[in-house]
Amino acid sequence: MELRVNNLSCARGGVPVLAGVSFAVAAGQALILRGPNGAGKTTLLRTLAGLQPALAGEVSVGADDVALATHADGVKAALTVAENLGFWAAVHGQRDIAPAISAMNLTALQSRPAGQLSAGQRRRLGLARLLVTGRKVWLLDEPTVSLDAASVGLFVQVITTHLANGGLAVIATHIDLGLTAAQTLDLAPFKARLGALP
Amino acid sequence: MIALFLRDLRLAFRAGGGFGLALAFFLLVAVLVPLGVGPKAATLALIAPGILWVGAMLSCLLTLDRLFATDFEDGSLDLLATAPIPMEGVVLAKAAAHWVTTGLPLALLAPVLGILLQLPGPAFGWLTLSLLIGTPALSMIGAFGAALTVGIKRGGLLLSLLVLPLYVPTLIFGAEVVQRAGQGAPLQSPLLLLAGITAGALALLPFAAAMAIRVNLR
C-alpha cells in the first residue's frame, strides 16, 4: 500500500485552492501537512478522501481505502459511546470495538451518552472511530484539537501502532506530534493563483 | 445499511428524536378540523378522506428537514460518504427509517382519527391500506427534497416548498381511494396509480437523492 499523489489540483466551492501537489507516502510512514489557516489542508484531505473531485492530477488510493477524521466527529449525542462506535464498526463490517475503546482510554465512558462528553472526550471517541474502520490510509484533519497532553500522547501511540502495522497517515496539524517516521509537506508553495482559473 | 437503519430508528426513539411529533401533529389536525367545520356528520364524512390524507402528508413533512441535516452538521454524512455503503443505500436506509417512524404509525393511527371525522364504515380498511401504500412515496420524495437542501442552514421551509408540489399525485390518488371506498365505488385504478407512484419513487429517487448529496458535500 502506498499513497501517491501526482500533480493534484483541488478546489473548494469551485475556487481553486491548491495546484500541482505531488507527494508519496509509503506504508508505515506519515505525512504531516503544514500551512497557515486557509492554505488548503482540509480541502486536500477531502479531495484525497474522494468527497470532492480533483480539478486535475491523480491519487493512487481509492475512497475504499481511506478513513477520514474531520473537525466534526460524526458523533450522535443521543447514543452512548459504545453505541456510536458500534455503529461505525457495523458500517465498516467490523465487530470488535473493545480494542478501539481501550486504545483511546474510553472504557470508563462506554455507557455514557455522547452528548454528555467534554470536547476532548468527544474527540477521543471520534478518533477511536478510525480504529474500527479497519482501513489503511488515515486522513486526519487537526486530530489533536481540544485534546489534553496525555490524550495527545495516547493518540500518537495509536498512530505509531497503526504505522507499524503497515498503515499510513496524512495529518494536518499545527503542533509537533513527535512521530519518528514522518515527512513534512508545507502547502504554502502550492497555493493556486487566482489568475490561473481553469 | 441495516446498521444505519437501526441507528436511525434508535435515534428517533431517543430524546429529541422526533418520534411521536408527527403522530401528535396528525392527531391535532384531525381534532381541529371538526372544531372549525362544525359537528355535522354529513359534512365531516364528505371531507374526512381529504383531511386525513392532507394531515398525514403534513405530518410526514415535519421530521423531514432533519433527515440528512443532522448528519450533515455533525459530520456523519461526510463519514458515511467514505464508508463502504453506496450513497444510494444510505438514502434508502434513512428513508426507510423515516417511514417506519412516521408513515407506518400514521397509517395505523388513521382509522382511530377516522372515527373523529365520521369516516364512512367501509372506508376504514382502505384508509389504512392506502396510507400504507402511499406513505413510502412521501418518505422517499421527502428524502430527495432533504438531499437537495442538505447544505442550507434552516432549509426546512425551502424543503416544504420543494416537496409539497411533488406530493400532489400521491395525495390525489390516496384520497380518491378512500373517497371511493366510502361511496362503495370501484377503487382499483386510483389504488394502482398510488402504488405505481410509490414504486416509481422508490426505484428512481434514491439515485437522484444520492447525486444531490454528493454535490452538496463538495
- What are A90-123's pLDDT values in tens digits? 988 888 888 888 888 888 888 899 889 898 899 9
pLDDT, greater one: A62 or A31: A31
Grid coordinates representing A197 are 482559473
Mean pLDDT value across residues B44-61: 91
C-alpha cell read off for A174 = 499545527
Is B203 a residue whose pLDDT tops 90? yes
What's the confidence (pLDDT) of residue A187?
Answer: 84
**Residues of A with Cβ-Cβ distance to B85 under 8 angstroms:** 91
Residues 137-176 of B with CB under 8 A from A: none
Residue type at A142 in one-letter notation? E
User: Is some CB atom of chain A closer than 8 A to the CB atom of B35?
Assistant: no
Write the residue in A67, A70, A79 that is nearest to B75 by C-beta. A70
The percent of residues in chain A predicted with pLDDT above 70, rounded, is 97
Does the structure show a pLDDT above 70 at A197?
Answer: no
Single out the residue of A168, A162, A132, A85 nearest to residue B84, CA to CA: A132
Q: Average pLDDT over chain A, rounded to whole?
A: 86
Q: Note the pLDDT of residue B180.
A: 92
Cβ-based neighbours of A167, under 8 Å, separated by 6 or more: A1, A27, A28, A136, A137, A138
Residues 6+ apart with CB under 8 A from A66: A48, A49, A50, A135, A137, A138, A139, B82
Dihedral angle of Cα B110, B57, B92, A87, to the nearest 10 degrees: -70
Q: Across residues B170-178, what is the average pLDDT?
A: 93
Q: How many CB atoms lie within 10 A of CB B38?
A: 9
- The backbone torsions φ and ψ at residue B74, rounded to the nearest 5 degrees and listed phi first, read -90, 10
> Helices (H), strands (E): how many in chain B?
10, 0
In the prediction, which pLDDT does B10 show? Answer: 86
**Do the bridges between strand A168-172 and strand A137-141 make them parallel or antiparallel, or are there none, so unpaired?**
parallel
Average pLDDT over residues B171-182: 92
Q: Which of B74, B76, B78 sits opposite A51 (nearest CB)?
A: B78
Strand locations in chain A (E): 2-12, 15-26, 30-34, 56-59, 66-69, 137-141, 168-172, 182-186
| B120, B185 Cβ separation under 8 angstroms | no
Smallest CA-to-CA distance from A3 within A36, A42, A50, A40 is with: A50
Helix (H, G, I), strand (E, B) or coil at A196: helix
pLDDT for the residue B93: 94
pLDDT score of A19: 87
Which residues 82-111 of B have a C-beta within 8 angstroms of A? 82-85
pLDDT surpasses 70 at A194: no
Quote the distance between the C-alpha of residue B73 and its chain's center: 23
Closest chain B residue to A75, measured at CA: B74
Q: Searching chain A, which residue's CA lies closest to the CA of residue B13?
A: A78
Tens digit of each residue's pLDDT (9 = 90 or more) over A155-173: 898 999 998 988 899 999 8
In B, minimum Cα distance to A51 occurs at B218
Whole-model pTM: value is: 0.90
Using CA atoms, how far apart are residues B149 and B217, in angstroms rounded to an integer?
11
DSSP A33: E
3-state DSSP percent of chain B in helix, strand and coil, to 5: 85, 0, 15
Q: Average per-residue pLDDT in chain B?
A: 90
**In which band, very low, low, confident or very high, does the pLDDT at B205 lie, cut at 50, 70 and 90?**
very high
3-state SS assignment for residue A30: strand
**CB-CB neighbors (< 8 A) of A72 in chain B:** 73-75, 78
**Residue A135 predicted with pLDDT over 70:** yes
Asked whether B94 and B143 are in contact (CB, 8 A), the reply is yes
Total count of domains within chain B: 1
Mean of pLDDT values over A28-48: 88
Q: Which of residues B208 and A6 earns the better pLDDT score?
A: B208
**Residue in chain B lying closest to A90 (CA):** B3
Q: Does B4 touch chain A (CB under 8 A)?
A: yes
Alpha-helical runs (H) found in B120-155: 123-148
Average pLDDT of A60-68? 84
Mean pLDDT of B151-171: 89
A to B CB pairs, distance under 8 Å:
69
- Of the ranges A159-163, A176-180, B133-137, the best mean pLDDT one: B133-137
* 3-class DSSP assignment, residue A50: coil
CB contact B217 to A (< 8 Å): yes
Structural domain containing residue B29: 2-217
Give yes or no for a contact between B33 and B117, defined as CB atoms under 8 angstroms apart: yes
- Taking the CA of residue A175 and the nearest CA in chain B, the distance in Å comes to 23
Q: What is the pLDDT of residue B98?
A: 92
Task: State how beta strands A30-34 and A56-59 pair.
Answer: unpaired
- Please, are residues A175 and A35 in contact by the beta-carbon 8 Å criterion? no
Please say if the pLDDT value at position A183 is more than 90: no
Q: Is B16 on the interface with A (CB under 8 A)?
A: yes
Residue with cell 438531499: B147
List CB contacts (< 8 A) between A132 and chain B: none
Distance, in Å, from the CA atom of A186 to the CA atom of A178, rounded to the nearest integer, reads: 17
Q: What is the mean pLDDT of residues B125-136?
A: 93
CB B80 within 8 A of CB B71: yes
Strand pairing class (A56-59; A2-12): antiparallel
Contact B26, B113 (CB under 8 A): yes
pLDDT at A195: 54
Quick one: which of B165, B23, B150, B13 has its CA closest to B91? Answer: B150
3 state DSSP class of B121: coil
